[in-house]
Amino acid sequence: MVTVSTPNGFSLDNSGRRVVVDPVTRIEGHMRVEVNVDENNVIRNAVSTGTMWRGLEVILKGRDPRDAWAFTERICGVCTGTHALTSVRAVENALNISIPENANTIRNIMQLTLYVHDHLVHFYHLHALDWVDVVSGLKADPKATSELAQSISSWPKSSPGYFRDVQARLRKFVESGQLGPFKNAYWGHEAYKLPPEANLMATAHYLEALDFQKEIVKIHTIFGGKNPHPNWLVGGVPCPINIDGNGGVGAINIERLNLVSSIIDQSIDFINQVYIPDLVAIAGFYKGWLYGGGLSSTSLMSYGDIPERANDYSDKSLQLPRGVILNGKLDEIHEVDLTAADQVQEFVNHSWYKYADESKGLHPWDGVTEPNYVLGPNAKGTKTRIEAVDEGAKYSWIKSPRWKGHAVEVGPLARYVIGYAQNKPEFKEPVDQLLKALDVPVTALFSTLGRTAARGLECAWAAEKMRYYQDKLIRTIKSGDESTANTAKWEPSSWPKSAKGVGFTEAPRGALGHWIRIEDTKIANYQAVVPTTWNGSPRDTKGNIGAFEASLLDTPVADPNQPLEILRTLHSFDPCLACSTHVMAPDGQEVTRVTVR
Ligand code: NFE
Ligand code: MG
């Protein structure tokens, strides 16, 4: 055994066999992970690599800052909208532009819509199959499945006949040999613990969620014209309100507001009657599998989001928690300052980028994005196909962001743990209820399942908040205020010669910041530091490992040729490589490759 301790408290040993998963599927973008397992098949070293490069930050240079949102939004079609929102906030911050109250409310509804859509799709379509053995559902008794479903929820689609129909559809799929979306999973793996009836129920809900998710995004089409990539605007929102219909053009009328309301109600019902009961039922069968904590039990960060008041981005206004927890000290919450040169910094000494002195991190206002693909001495491969990485050298297209030098985990679990530590009832109470229902201690939160549970609770929270902001919007409109945009500073001639700003959001996957420098009305530098950049970061100059790598350590893998446990934990972060490496080079892609050597 050659054990090396990392500065952030993890032990690594790369003497055992290497298991490679490349690409990791059911995520957004291209990612590879290499782990070393010891003689008992326990993971002792983990190396995660972003295998695609995107040049969005470079493309932005020299452009009009008012257009930046439309480019940054194309960073990703999954967390669509959140980069645009972050971008307009950065430009507004730089140019000191305020927005009307209705614009803030509509932006909140748009952002919460993204949460609900993203979390629901993640749970059912990207993550559930790590816990649910779809093929086992063929053995289920439809009557017993119906009894199970009715014992956990009042959701109407729960009759024996309904589950018999779903089972027949599933059988057709399997017998045709064309499993479609259910192909390439490790069906029958010993790490699956659900009885056939729970597997059938969850599969039925997978299909229902697939159908329902297309309803949720209609809210983006109403306020933003389309989805993915709805429209945004520096100074407000681009959709005028025209309630009485007399004169003027307005996209937002009563009929459309009623449609938004009805979709919000349906979302609340689906989450409370399907998603949450499924989450609790599935977690109940896996509560002994508490691996995957990693950085979540030590260091977590959230910037906060969903400002109650327009133009007020203080802790008091932000409805999602803000702060940093270090080294597991839940009683000490540090303040985040995104303008401080020594707080958020990105390092590239293990990333395929270069700048003059790589021993130092750069604050994003001074950030550099210059690609530099060099494989280390122990690596094998070419630009389009990596055979092995060398974690002692550069090994990822993801940079390494750090907060005051610390690697931190971001995302729903970070937000919930910080809210819990701040004793905010909205976050603490649902967590305590869930822990009680599952009969597990609070430490169970720091795990793969904790991450998955926090996302579910947050989805329910977000849907309720949508209802709140929709009601607020209607109240304000009724009071006679139809203002949605401030165009006072639209003309670049009104701007200062030089300006810089920062915009932040909590994207579904975690803390997101955009930093902009404007010179002579054009973008001089633009840097995005993205949730999956934080979580999927490679090592930094000191040797601290990031959240994906930390979370995989010490996890037993039942069968290294079918590394379901690795997927389970990585999927719990909902990785997005498109975001984290912000034009992709699809050459050399393969469908799942698992290598053990
Ligand atoms: Ni492409 Fe994204 C989110 C952002 S990434 S999904 O949520 O920002 O990590
Ligand atoms: Mg970046």
> What CATH number is attached to the domain comprising 88?
1.10.645.10
> Which ligand does the CA of 121 lie closest to?
1
Do the domain assignments include residue 538?
A: yes
Region at 329 (left for phi over 0; alpha for psi -120 to 50; beta for the rest): beta
The rounded distance, in Å, linking the Cα atoms of 307 and 531 is 19
Q: Which atom of ligand 1 is nearest to the CA of 528?
A: 8
Do the domain assignments include residue 590?
A: no
Could you tell me the sign of the dihedral formed by the alpha carbons of 286, 292, 298, 302, in that order? Answer: negative
Q: Which atom of ligand 1 is nearest to the CA of 577?
A: 1
Say which residue the tokens 């009929």 belong to: 255
Q: In Å, what is the CA distance from 384 to each residue of 53, 354, 480, 580, 588?
A: 11, 20, 58, 19, 5
Ligand 2 centroid to Cα of residue 5, in Å, is 28
The rounded distance, in Å, linking the Cα atoms of 305 and 505 is 5
Annotated binding-site residue numbers for Fe cation: 79, 579
CB 24 within 8 A of CB 31: yes
The rounded distance, in Å, linking the Cα atoms of 213 and 28 is 17
Do the domain assignments include residue 148?
A: no
The parts of the chain modelled with pLDDT lower than 50 are: 583-592
The rounded distance, in Å, linking the Cα atoms of 513 and 554 is 32
Neighbouring residues of the ion ligand 2, judged by CB less than 5 Å: 528
pLDDT of residue 386: 87
At residue 416, the 3 state secondary structure works out as: helix
CB 296 within 8 A of CB 499: no
Q: Which atom of ligand 1 is nearest to the CA of 531?
A: 9
Q: What contacts 441, CB < 8 A, 6 or more positions away?
A: 435
Do the domain assignments include residue 11?
A: yes
Ligand 1 centroid to Cα of residue 549, in Å, is 18
Say which residue the tokens 């490759």 belong to: 593
Residue 492 has which token pair?
């670049």
Region at 201 (left for phi over 0; alpha for psi -120 to 50; beta for the rest): alpha
Domain of residue 40 covers: 4-133+194-352+377-580
Q: What residue owns the CA closest to ligand 1's atom 2? A: 79
Q: What residue owns the CA closest to ligand 1's atom 6? A: 79
- The C-alpha R_g of the chain, in whole angstroms, comes to 24
Residue 565 has which token pair?
């446990």
Say which residue the tokens 């969903």 belong to: 306
Q: Tens digit of pLDDT for each residue in 147-168?
A: 999 999 999 999 999 999 999 9
- Buried residues in 530-561 as b, exposed as e (16+ CB within 10 A): bbbbbbbbbbbbeebbbbbbbbbbebebeebe
Annotated binding-site residue numbers: 57, 76, 79, 576, 579, 582
Q: What contacts 474, CB < 8 A, 6 or more positions away?
A: 257
pLDDT of residue 412: 98
Ligand 2 centroid to Cα of residue 24, in Å, is 22
Do the domain assignments include residue 173?
A: no
- Buried residues in 140-163 as b, exposed as e (16+ CB within 10 A): bbbebbbebbeebbebeebeeebb
pLDDT of residue 177: 80
Residue 491 has which token pair?
């003309």
CB 573 within 8 A of CB 451: yes
pLDDT of residue 182: 77
Ligand 1 centroid to Cα of residue 377, in Å, is 32
User: How would DSSP label each residue in 163-201?
Assistant: HHHHHHHHHHHHHTT--GGGTTS-TT-TT----HHHHHH
* Amino acid, single-letter form, for residue 144: A
**Ligand 1 cavity residues, CB under 6 Å:** 28, 76, 78-79, 82-83, 507-509, 512, 530-532, 576, 578-580
CB 123 within 8 A of CB 455: yes
> Which ligand does the CA of 353 lie closest to?
2
Do the domain assignments include residue 382?
A: yes
> Which ligand does the CA of 531 lie closest to?
1
The count of domains in the chain is 1
Annotated binding-site residue numbers for Mg(2+): 57, 582
Residue 90 has which token pair?
């950065």
Do the domain assignments include residue 320?
A: yes
Q: What are phi and psi of 519, to 5 degrees?
A: -130, 130
Residue 537 has which token pair?
């970061």
Do the domain assignments include residue 142?
A: no
CB 33 within 8 A of CB 538: no
pLDDT of residue 243: 79
Q: Tens digit of pLDDT for each residue in 362-383?
A: 999 999 989 999 989 999 988 7
Beta bridge partner(s), residue 552: none
